[in-house]
Amino acid sequence: LTSACPVTGQPDFYEVAITIETDGTAIETKTLKLYLETYRNQQTFCEDLCVKICEDLFDACQPQKCTVVLQQRRRGGIEITATHDIARAERG
């Protein structure tokens, strides 16, 4: 997954892990890949991107639980890992 740093405009590269505990509705991997590619030129911070992806996936398939982990590649000596999860019980 690639996005752009909102401060410098430089590309940020991520490893993304998605866990969806579903009871029927899923997302096709090709569709997921195309969705993730939409962030290529968007300027966003790692933490905000993690929340946005998790919320979008949760809204799309209404699973029991959705967890997204983004690990940003080291840049300037700093590596960031952001995690966000949503459970159906929390959303009511």
Residues serving a catalytic function are 5, 12
**24 contacts: CB under 8 Å, gap ≥ 6:** none
| Strand pairing category for 65-75 and 11-21 | antiparallel
